[in-house]
Chain A
Amino acid sequence: MGERTVAASVPWAPERGRAGARPSLAAKVLGAAAVLVLATGLYLGLAVVPPDAVQGEVQRIMYLHVPSIVTAYLAFFVVFCSSVLYLWKRDLRFDAVAVSSAEIGVVLTGITLATGSIWGKSTWGVWWTWDARLTLTAILFTIYVGYLMLRAFAEEPQAGARYGAVLAIIGFLDIPLNHLAVQWWRTLHQPSSILRPGGPSVASVMLVPLAINFAGLILLSAYLLLERIRLERIRHRAAETRLKRGRRG
């Protein structure tokens, strides 16, 4: 992302002399916990749980594919809430959370598209098809890549934050549409097997690595979010310093 500057003072920027030089204790704990939980989930998903009766071994891709998209949805929900709060309060802290969480959501959606494509090739015989679920996921990815580009290239940062917030809020509408697409239309993609009326249709032995990897990706996303927000704070501090020096002349 390009360098962003702020035109106003940012009271939440780090103090001089300890300008966010190190990750916080919370970030360190979250990062270590994420590694442990993900290692456990991957071991269970790849080595312990039996293969699927219909798809065989290749179904193990589910233990990465499903937690990735659900965590991406959560990341975009954080973007949505932070964008609403930014438009309401005009507080740069909310904007920093929004842009940071959007990056993480884009990475996770990219992983979902890639793993879904590989899974599709092995089960359907094609890398890609213009199925409603796949297309709406690609649109979701494109919307938030567009959001990040808007933020990176906006000439006037306050306007970039404002337009970005509007785009993020509108873009979030794609998520419920995406979730319901497999119920509303006939799709090649299978119907929801976890978040569905009547409870999960997946065998409980398969739910364990799914839940563990989901927890691991949430911990990893929280760690990445704290680190990405730290980057925003340092950038704001640098912008503030430049502004003060400019005023002094």
Chain B
Amino acid sequence: MGSWGFIGLAYGLGSVALLLYLILLKRRLRGAQDELAALEGDGGRRAR
């Protein structure tokens, strides 16, 4: 592998790691929001 191959591998891995973390964080946020909405919606219906 040439110098630019190593450089591409390093920057590629770094970018993928950061992007993957961001995507998983957004997915966890959506999941938590859906769960909270369901809990509060359900609670609201109970109260009525």
Contacts and interface: CB of A to CB of B under 8 A. Distances in A.
Interface of B: 1, 3-4, 6-7, 9-11, 13-14, 17-18, 21-22, 25-26, 28-29, 32-33, 35-37, 39-40, 43, 46
Interface in A74-117: 103, 107, 110-111, 114-115
A11 B9 CA distance: 46
B17 to A, nearest CB: 5
Contact of A111 (B3, B4, B17, B46): B17
A21 B7 CA distance: 39
Interface in A177-236: 220, 224, 227-228, 230-231, 234-235
A245 B6 CA distance: 55
B36 A241 contact: yes
Contacts of A220: 18
Given A19-B36, A57-B3, A58-B6, A227 B14 contact: no
A138 interface: no
A61 B6 contact: yes
A19 B6 contact: no
A110 B18 CA distance: 10
B3 A107 contact: no
Contacts of B6: 58, 61, 118-119, 121-122
Give chain A's interface residue range (CB within 8 Å of chain B). Answer: 35 or more
Contacts of A151: none
A241 B39 contact: yes
Nearest to B17: A111
B17 A46 contact: no
A65 interface: yes
B4 A57 contact: yes
Given A107-B18, A118-B6, A238-B35, 9 more contacts: A64-B10, A111-B17, A118-B10, A227-B25, A227-B29, A231-B32, A241-B36, A241-B40, A244-B43
Contact of B10 (A103, A115, A242): A115
A234 B14 contact: no
B26 to A, nearest CB: 8
A65 to B, nearest CB: 7
B23 to A, nearest CB: 12
B10 A234 contact: no
B3 A110 contact: no
22 contacts: A19-B36, A19-B37, A46-B7, A58-B7, A60-B7, A64-B10, A107-B18, A107-B21, A110-B17, A114-B13, A115-B13, A118-B9, A121-B6, A122-B6, A224-B21, A227-B25, A234-B29, A234-B33, A237-B36, A238-B39, A241-B43, A245-B46
